[in-house]
Amino acid sequence: MTPVDVVLIGRNEGERLRRALAGARGQARRIVYVDSGSTDGSVEAARAAGAEVVRLDMSIPFTAARARNAGFEALDSSGPKPELVQFVDGDCALVEGFVDAARARIEADSRLALVTGWRSEIDRDASVYNQLCDFEWRRPAGPILACGGDMLVRAPAFRQVGGFDPTVIAAEDDEFCTRLRKAGWALERIPAEMTRHDANMLRFGQWWQRAVRTGHGFAQVGHLHPDYFVVERRRVWIFGLYVPLLILALGAVSPWLAPLPALLYALSLWRTYKGLAGNGLPKDEALRHSALIVLSKFPNLIGMAMFHWRRLRHAQMRIIEYK
142 and 27 inside one domain: yes
User: What number of other Cβ atoms are within 10 A of residue 247's Cβ?
Assistant: 18
Task: Based on the fold, state whether residues 137 and 245 are members of the same structural domain.
Answer: no
d(CA 107, CA 263): 51
For residue 185, give the 3-state DSSP assignment: coil
Judge whether 255 lies within some domain. Answer: yes
**Sign of the CA dihedral with 299 first, then 305, 309, and 314 last:** positive
Regarding whether 103 and 70 lie in a shared domain, the answer is yes
215 assigned to some structural domain: no
Query: According to the model, what pLDDT value does residue 118 have?
Result: 96
Q: Is the pLDDT score of 33 beyond 90?
A: yes
- 182 plus 80 within the same structural domain: yes
Q: Looking at the structure, tell me whether residues 231 and 183 fall in a common domain.
A: no
Predicted pLDDT at 40? 87
Average pLDDT over residues 245-268: 89
Please check whether residues 261 and 186 belong to one and the same domain.
no
Of 143, 174, 202, the residue that ends a domain is 202
320 pLDDT exceeds 80?
no
**112-121 and 151-154: which strand pairing?**
antiparallel
Number of domains in the chain: 2
* Nearest one of 78, 100, 69, 66 to 30, comparing CA atoms: 78
* Span 100-127, average pLDDT: 96
Would you say residue 254 lies in a domain? yes
Q: How far apart are CA 164 and CA 180, in angstroms?
A: 10
CA-derived radius of gyration, the chain: 21
- In contact, 138 and 118? CB cutoff 8 Å: yes
* pLDDT for the residue 256: 83
Closest CA to 24 of 67, 16, 35: 16
Average pLDDT over residues 219-229: 97
Give dist(CA 308, CA 317) in Å, integer. 10
Same domain, 197 and 226: no
Mean pLDDT of the region 67-88: 95
pLDDT band at 251 (very low <50, low <70, confident <90, very high): confident
Q: What pLDDT was estimated at residue 124?
A: 94
Same domain, 112 and 249: no
How many C-beta atoms lie closer than 10 Å to residue 312's C-beta?
A: 8
Taking each helix axis from N to C terminus, what angle separates 204-224 and 297-313, rounded to the nearest 10 degrees? 50
Final residue belonging to a domain, choices 202, 229, 247: 202
What pairing do the DSSP bridges indicate for beta strands 4-10 and 31-35? Answer: parallel
**Residue 75 is part of which domain span?**
4-202
pLDDT at 229: 97
Residue 211, domain member (yes or no): no
What percentage of residues in the chain have a pLDDT greater than 70? 100
Domain stop point among 146, 173, 202:
202
pLDDT at 323 > cutoff 80: no
Instruction: Provide the angle, in degrees to the nearest 10, between the axes of the packed helices 263-278 and 283-295.
Output: 140
pLDDT tens digit string along 156-210? 999 999 999 999 999 999 999 999 999 999 999 999 999 999 999 999 999 999 9
**216 domain residue, yes or no:** no
In a domain, 289, yes or no: yes
Kindly state whether residues 142 and 243 are assigned to the same domain.
Answer: no
| 81 & 137 share domain | yes
Quick check: 74 pLDDT over 90? yes
Is residue 316's pLDDT more than 90? no
Residues 266, 183 share a domain: no
One-letter amino acid at 254 equals S
Which positions ≥6 away from 5 have C-beta within 8 Å? 28, 29, 30, 31, 32, 75, 82, 84, 85, 86
- Residue 39 CA to residue 14 CA, distance in Å, equals 10
Per-residue pLDDT band for 306 (boundaries 50, 70, 90) equals very high
pLDDT confidence of residue 149: 93
Residue 195, SS3 per DSSP: strand
Give the mean pLDDT of 250-256.
Answer: 85
One domain for residues 156 and 293: no
Q: Residue 160 maps to which CATH number? A: 3.90.550.10
Tell me if 235 is assigned to some domain: yes
The predicted model gives 228-245 an average pLDDT of 97
Asked if residue 213 belongs to a domain, the reply is no
